[in-house]
Amino acid sequence: MKGPLVPATESSATDGRVPTALDLDTLSRQLNRPVRDVVEIPARCVCGNPLVAATAPRLSNGIPFPTTYYLTHPVLTAAASRLEAAGLMNEMTDRLAADTELAAAYQHAHEAYIAAREAIGERAGTGPVPETAGISAGGMPTRVKCLHVLIGHALAAGPGVNPLGDEALAAVAEWWTAERCYCEGAWDNQAPVPNKDLSRHVKHLNQLKAEAAGNADSTSDSANTEK
């Protein structure tokens, strides 16, 4: 395994995929929220910083998590959002309906995504996740619903696996390319590492936890009552 850009650390990971403590802090700063259940770093900037995080197919709280690859680098996520706002997803979805060759390649990408998730789950020891069998992410295999997912997959898998992910990655070249580092100023490296997760997803999980603990009114919708 190669990992020449990443200095040996206390975790002494010989495999650059395994996140170090610094990687996890960087991810939390990039996303401005604490990351959870990240088990691998499938793609890195030339400087070594994470571009994509791989999340365990089953979270430590037991919830199945199909979106294995998450684009984390702020320059890339902003670029993907720009392409989405410009209507690239609808254009791609229309082409999938008309171009059988593209549709077949995208179907293969869907299958590769699921296989990669299973391999990550095996390496992470999370076991099989029957709840998400046959489900990938981003609209695959017949639609395009999230360019962040497709670009994350393209970066993790390398070129030639996800044709529309490769296209989306080529389309962000105005703002980001693999050859150089865009990290400077892209997030606040001096800021404290975020430790409060205020995302909707986590509020929902907290609500489920509270309900499981029996201290929430089952008809209540008040997920925000405590932090």
Instruction: Please report, as ranges, the residues that interact with Zn ion according to CB under 5 A.
Output: 45, 47, 49, 181, 183
The alpha carbon dihedral of 193, 198, 200, 201 has a sign of positive
Closest separation between CB of residue 23 and Zn ion, Å? Answer: 13
Closest separation between CB of residue 75 and Zn ion, Å? Answer: 9
Helix 163-171 vs helix 74-85: crossing angle, to nearest 10: 100
Residue 49's Cβ-side half-sphere holds a number of Cα atoms within 13 Å equal to: 22
Contact, 6 vs 15, CB < 8 A? Answer: no
Closest separation between CB of residue 11 and Zn ion, Å? Answer: 20
Q: 106 or 182, CB closer to Zn ion?
A: 182
* Sheet hosting strand 38-44, strand order edge to edge: 38-44, 50-55, 69-71
Secondary structure (3-state) at 145? coil
Q: 28 or 136, CB closer to Zn ion?
A: 28
Closest separation between CB of residue 50 and Zn ion, Å? Answer: 9
Q: Please report, to the nearest 10 degrees, the dihedral formed by the alpha carbons of residues 81, 87, 89, 93 taken in order.
A: 180
Secondary structure (3-state) at 220? coil
Closest separation between CB of residue 123 and Zn ion, Å? Answer: 25
Q: 65 or 70, CB closer to Zn ion?
A: 70
Q: 48 or 66, CB closer to Zn ion?
A: 48
Helix 163-171 vs helix 147-157: crossing angle, to nearest 10: 100
Q: Which amino acid makes up residue 188?
A: D
Q: 20 or 49, CB closer to Zn ion?
A: 49
Closest separation between CB of residue 184 and Zn ion, Å? Answer: 8
Contact, 50 vs 23, CB < 8 A? Answer: yes
Q: 47 or 133, CB closer to Zn ion?
A: 47
